[in-house]
A and B are shown apart, each in its own frame.
Chain A
């Protein structure tokens, strides 16, 4: 690809729909319109194309997906200047050719009819469209007036050179208020890993592991880097097939693929882990010396009987899990959202890690994943506590200006936090976003950003175990709307306002980025000339920056016995489960993802409440009935879906729906469970305890058919999906005799 910007832009010249790229009606309609009239369609010719650009032939360009924080490499098929399809970038160590549904739907984020086409500023209470110039003038004026030290940034996960610029900007502002917020995060896990192993995101060796025990870590769906783990999972399952055990209140995509799925009372996962440890020590002569005496003592308290009493998991299940772990060594024990998001979330995560230590997985199946050579480029992973901090700061007037991008806290932060009122205390709020959403609606200026397919950028995935790379995000087509700007460009402009002179030289983010890559160390450039290196990187879509491998060692282990109390008037627990598809709700405005049924329930375009048959029986509800789920913070209504994949004491309502202001496809659809979360944070990390809310359910009397795909939930005796035992599989395809 040529570095010549003029040519490149022109190559991206968009060809009108009437042109050779027409995909209009297949004449399959009223006879009259089948007849063609000459000269009715326009065909747009190029001004000065590059040699290999041929109309009618699609070309694939590499870029990086921005749909969720795990930043997979993608290839975009470009034809007549339009990007038509994305596929995985085989070169990428993150996803290696595969992609999740959310990544594919990036196309519909890009072409979304509800994208903001012009900036909006608040005039007399209402947001009105203005030109970029005007909007920017407002920003400049306000910034000049305000105390730059009181400038805050709330972002989603950021990394790469955007992160570098953002840091530089905050530095120039003399402010340290950068809130990296992700509603779906692994923040508790990270802090536990950091404390116990000294590394936030160690590498999980699925390929080595023979068994995996997951406490609510939905690594196939929403945990850390789903596509990567799916790839690894495939290896894990082939050859001498590993065993997957999942403990979680509600069946996630990972749970649906488990060999043994068992729900524990929400929040008691840690206890179950200790129980397993107990059995390991007593029955399987695990090496006790690996654990300090205090921990051993605590473990010894949790014999199977007690564990069963606390967690509600049958003793036989505990033993079964333990046996699997023992017989299929080495193993991995993971923990995720449904275990973390409790007041004792930290304890749960620690207990899980204790199991790893006891099973001797650390250093064997859990390795160091090294670190980015250039720490400034490394990914800033989000947490929900960030939102709490923001709320606090806003409340006590520590913020005069707030920039919000890549996050929609007003939608995802529980209402008890009262974020809306607290944000109202921030005098000047700027949203950098492509869509009008609940948060943007509150801000004073909305600057529409380029879509991720139009913008330049670099990303460093938070979890890239095998090799450290910088993912290149390059435009796959010309911007659709003139009055939009790239995130990097905005940052640069802001820096210029702050008079950070070293950035004055750059006309735009593109030139900055080019320069930044030129100035990478020679080792990274593999002796290529600047231009060649640049083209090579764009072609590959990623830059291998080498790897500083470290090694893991067990640091501290501190476990304190948790306590659980029941709540008589709120007998049940709400599980606001993340679903791969709508993510935390940011993808709810994509028709493909709305229409793609939820993997577990097969429900589309709606929210629902999952109940266990026994619970449903108790409350006398049947599938399709509308129930009210009530917490001390309010209540929501949803239709019931009944199946045996949820704990009897749990009602699971997926996140992502219930938008009030997020475009035509998302607005007024379903309910948002996060709204009724009751106060509570993890004792150690201060993460929101989203899975700990106690609720009661009641019938509303309303009822209608579920919007669900598929008639029968069973195979009615046909041999559609036939299941064989793993032993047979190992006999036929294990031990290397594969096709």
Chain B
């Protein structure tokens, strides 16, 4: 963020909290996670590990809460708006929730970074520039979803003993100690998609860029796409479920539609819409 940038886009920075972020974006990458389809099988998480050079930190450090799980498959035993917790068994199974960076339009992490290592790209992505990060860790403190992970050690030293390191993805860097990192919506894939499109002299089409989690999901519970692209599957889903960006509370014509955004009321304006889990009750 150059000074010029701040001054010129100051109104934008202020606006973020009112309208749904900047709509003069080139793209607005967004996602839909259908909790009715999600089986909690964890394929997305491992896919993320292999795509994004995530280090495995081992039992002890993982137990200490120093792991690097960008996409974490959460599991809850209670069902707040259905009840039945007093039953003898978990009769309706578990509630799974894949949680990756919500790419908020009014991201709380961005404002507090002292060196602007995290900022919003013209693609509507919440970027993290690793080599600019000085590790004040304020962003992670200020993320209501706790979706930012810190390199507490030089994990790369032990995580990829020869020849495991040959699997590392050259399209993004390997992070060293003292750097904050998080889900990037597989920005390297988006970049590739845009380059290819440019090479072929066309616009980026829906499906050109697919995040690793979305691509590997066995039930196709995750849909990834450009929310500014009218014909994109993801846009249709948002429309269908009458969920809009830039709102702290969705006023739906049909109250029964499933779409919702996690902790939407905080006005961070996340770009991931979740669809209610469904059970026979």
* A residues neighboring B (CB under 8 Å): 17, 20-29, 58, 79-80, 82-88, 95, 97-101, 103-105, 107-108, 110-113, 220-221, 226-227, 230-231, 233-234, 237-238, 241, 243, 246, 251, 253, 255-263, 324, 480, 580-581, 591-597, 599-600, 602, 604-606, 614, 643-645, 669, 705, 707-710, 712-715, 717-726, 728-729, 731-733, 738-739
Contacts and interface: CB of A to CB of B under 8 A. Distances in A.
A105 B46 contact: yes
Contacts of A17: 165-166
A257 B40 contact: yes
Contact of A605 (B59, B170, B258): B59
Interface string B73-96: 111111111100001111111111
Contacts of B279: 259, 723-726
Contact of A99 (B80, B87, B216, B240): B216
Given A17-B165, A261-B89, A732-B256, A723 B79 contact: yes
A118 to B, nearest CB: 15
A710 B74 contact: yes
B62 A604 contact: yes
Nearest to B32: A739
B213 to A, nearest CB: 11
B46 to A, nearest CB: 4
A155 B53 CA distance: 34
Contact of A644 (B77, B218, B276): B77
Contacts of B79: 721, 723
B43 interface: yes
Interface residues of B, number: 99
A84 B169 contact: yes
Given A24-B174, A111-B166, A220 B43 contact: no
A110 B171 CA distance: 21
B97 interface: yes
A720 B262 contact: yes
B142 interface: no
Contact of B43 (A104, A600, A606): A104
A715 to B, nearest CB: 5
Counting from the closest, the 7 A-B pairs by CB-CB distance are A26-B173, A98-B218, A605-B59, A739-B240, A230-B218, A23-B168, A101-B46
A722 B280 contact: no
Nearest to A72: B218
A595 to B, nearest CB: 4
Contact of B164 (A111, A227, A728): A111
Given A113-B163, A600-B94, A715-B80, A729 B36 contact: yes
Contact of A723 (B56, B82, B151, B165): B82
B95 A721 contact: yes
A644 B90 contact: yes
Nearest to A729: B278
A263 B93 CA distance: 12
16 contacts: A17-B165, A28-B151, A87-B47, A87-B216, A227-B218, A230-B219, A231-B218, A238-B37, A243-B280, A253-B40, A256-B39, A592-B50, A595-B58, A707-B63, A724-B276, A729-B278
Q: By DSSP majority rule, is chain B's interface helix, strand, loop, or mixed?
A: loop
A253 B41 contact: yes
B39 A257 contact: yes
B45 interface: yes
B80 A717 contact: yes
B270 interface: no
B41 A221 contact: yes
Given A257-B39, A719-B262, A29 B154 contact: yes
Contact of B51 (A28, A85, A98): A85
A710 B99 CA distance: 12
B62 A605 contact: yes
Contact of B280 (A233, A259, A713, A721): A259
A581 B42 contact: yes
A28 B43 CA distance: 29
A595 B62 contact: yes
Interface in B80-131: 80-82, 87-97, 130-131
Given A253-B39, A261-B89, A261-B92, A714 B173 contact: no
Given A29-B176, A87-B216, A258-B92, A728 B74 contact: no
Nearest to B99: A720
Given A104-B43, A230-B218, A594-B56, 6 more contacts: A22-B170, A28-B130, A101-B41, A226-B41, A260-B91, A614-B88
Nearest to A234: B219
Contacts of B212: 85, 87
A599 B76 CA distance: 11
Contacts of A709: 62, 67, 69, 72
Contact of B218 (A86, A95, A107): A95
Contacts of B74: 710, 720
Given A111-B164, A718-B263, A722-B80, A97 B215 contact: yes
Given A29-B154, A718-B263, A99 B47 contact: yes
Contact of B281 (A258, A591, A715, A725): A725
B90 A645 contact: yes
B220 interface: yes
Contacts of A262: 89, 91
B236 interface: yes
B58 A605 contact: yes
A722 B255 CA distance: 14
A107 B62 contact: no
A707 B59 contact: yes
B174 A258 contact: no
A29 B41 contact: no
Given A644-B77, A714-B76, A724 B50 contact: no
A705 B63 contact: yes
B42 A241 contact: no
A251 B91 CA distance: 10
Nearest to A317: B91
A441 to B, nearest CB: 22
B2 interface: no
B279 to A, nearest CB: 5
Interface in B150-192: 151, 154, 156, 159, 161-179, 192
A241 to B, nearest CB: 6
B176 A25 contact: yes
B43 A100 contact: yes
A591 B174 contact: no
B219 A29 contact: no
Contacts of A257: 39-40, 93-94
Contacts of B257: 732
Contacts of B31: none
B92 A259 contact: yes
B5 interface: no
A27 B258 contact: no
Contacts of A594: 56, 59
A476 to B, nearest CB: 11
A87 B212 CA distance: 8
A732 B220 contact: no
B256 A731 contact: yes
B36 A26 contact: no
Nearest to B36: A237
B237 interface: yes
A113 B164 contact: yes
A95 B41 CA distance: 14
Nearest to A113: B161
A25 to B, nearest CB: 6
Given A88-B216, A108-B164, A234-B220, A739 B241 contact: yes
Contacts of A58: 192
Given A261-B93, A715-B80, A729-B278, A84 B167 contact: yes
